[in-house]
Chains A and B, each alone.
Chain A
Amino acid sequence: MSAHNDIDRVSGRSTTGHEWDGIKELNTPLPRWWVLTFYATIIWAFGYWLVYPAWPLVSGYTTGVLHTTNRAAVTANLAQLEALRGEKMKALGTASLADIEKDPALLALARARGKAVFGDNCAPCHGSGAAGAKGYPNLNDDDWLWGGTLDQIMQTIQFGARSGNAKAHEGQMLAFGRDGILKKDEIVTVANYVRSLSGLSTAAGYDPAAGKTIFAENCVSCHGEDGKGNQEFGAPNLTDQIWLYGSDESTLVETITKGRAGVMPAWSGRLDPVTTRALAVYVHSLGGGK
Chain B
Amino acid sequence: MEPYRGILMGLPMTKNVTPKVLMGGDDDLPLYAPQKKIYPQRVSGTFRRLKWGLMALCLGVYYLLPLVRWDRGLGAPDQAVLIDFPNQRFYFFFIELWPQEIYYFTGLLILAAFTLFLMNALGGRIWCGYLCPQTVWTDLFYAVERWTEGDRRERIKTDAGPLTAKRLARRALKQAIWLIIAWWTGGAWVLYFSDAPTLVRDLATFQAPAIAYIWIGILTASTYLLAGHAREQVCLYMCPWPRIQAALTDEWALNVTYKYDRGEPRCSMKKGRDLRALGEKIGECIDCKQCVAVCPTGIDIRDGAQLGCIQCGLCIDACDNVMKKIGRPMRLIGYDNDINVQRRTSGNTEAFKPIRARTGVYASLITLVCAVMLHTLLTRSLLDVNVLHDRNPVAVKLSDGAIRNGYTLRFLNKRGFDRVIAVDVDGPANAQIHIVGVDSVTPERPMIVLARDATTELRVLVTAPFDEKVEKTQPVKFRITDIGLGEVASATDHFVTP
Interface residues in chain A, defined as those with a beta carbon under 8 Å from any beta carbon in chain B: 10-14, 27-29, 31-33, 101-102, 104, 107-108, 111, 127-131, 138, 140-143, 237, 240-242, 285-288
Contacts and interface: CB of A to CB of B under 8 A. Distances in A.
User: What band does the interface of chain B fall in when counting residues whose beta carbon is under 8 Å from A?
Assistant: 20 to 34
B439 interface: yes
B87 interface: no
Given A141-B398, A237-B399, A287-B406, A12 B393 contact: no
Contacts of B3: 13-14, 27-29
7 contacts: A104-B458, A129-B390, A129-B391, A143-B399, A240-B400, A241-B399, A288-B398
A140 B390 CA distance: 11
Contact of B13 (A13, A138, A141, A240): A13
B7 A127 contact: no
Contacts of B33: none
A128 B459 CA distance: 17
A279 to B, nearest CB: 15
Nearest to B3: A13
Interface string B1-29: 00110011000011011000110000000
A142 B391 contact: no
A141 B399 CA distance: 7
A108 B458 CA distance: 8
Contact of B436 (A12, A32, A285): A285
B22 A11 contact: yes
A14 B2 CA distance: 10
Given A13-B3, A285-B459, A142 B399 contact: yes
Given A101-B437, A287-B461, A131 B393 contact: yes
A27 to B, nearest CB: 7
Nearest to A103: B437
B437 A104 contact: yes
B443 interface: no
B51 interface: no
B397 interface: yes
Interface in B272-287: none
Contacts of B458: 104
Contact of A12 (B8, B16, B400, B459): B16
Interface in B427-457: 434, 436-437, 439, 456-457
Contact of B17 (A11, A140, A141, A286): A11
Nearest to A2: B3
Given A138-B396, A287-B404, 19 more contacts: A11-B13, A11-B22, A12-B17, A27-B3, A28-B3, A33-B8, A102-B437, A129-B390, A129-B393, A130-B393, A131-B393, A138-B393, A141-B397, A143-B398, A143-B399, A240-B400, A285-B436, A287-B461, A288-B396
B401 interface: yes
A28 B458 CA distance: 71
B35 interface: no
10 closest cross-chain pairs (CB), A and B: A129-B392, A240-B399, A131-B393, A140-B396, A143-B399, A241-B401, A107-B437, A285-B436, A13-B3, A287-B461
B393 A140 contact: yes
Contacts of A138: 393, 396
Contacts of A128: 392
Contact of A32 (B8, B21, B392, B398): B8
A287 B436 contact: yes
B14 A12 contact: yes
Contacts of B393: 127, 129-131, 138, 140
Contacts of A127: 392-393
Contact of A285 (B7, B13, B437): B437
B8 A31 contact: yes
Contacts of B7: 31
Contacts of A14: 3
Contacts of B396: 131, 138, 140-141, 287-288
B439 A102 contact: yes
Nearest to A107: B437
Contacts of B461: 287
A108 B4 CA distance: 67
B286 to A, nearest CB: 48
Nearest to B396: A140
Contacts of B406: 140, 286-287
A15 B434 CA distance: 88
A107 B439 CA distance: 13
A22 B16 CA distance: 23
A241 B459 CA distance: 25
A128 B390 CA distance: 12
B400 A29 contact: no
Nearest to B460: A287
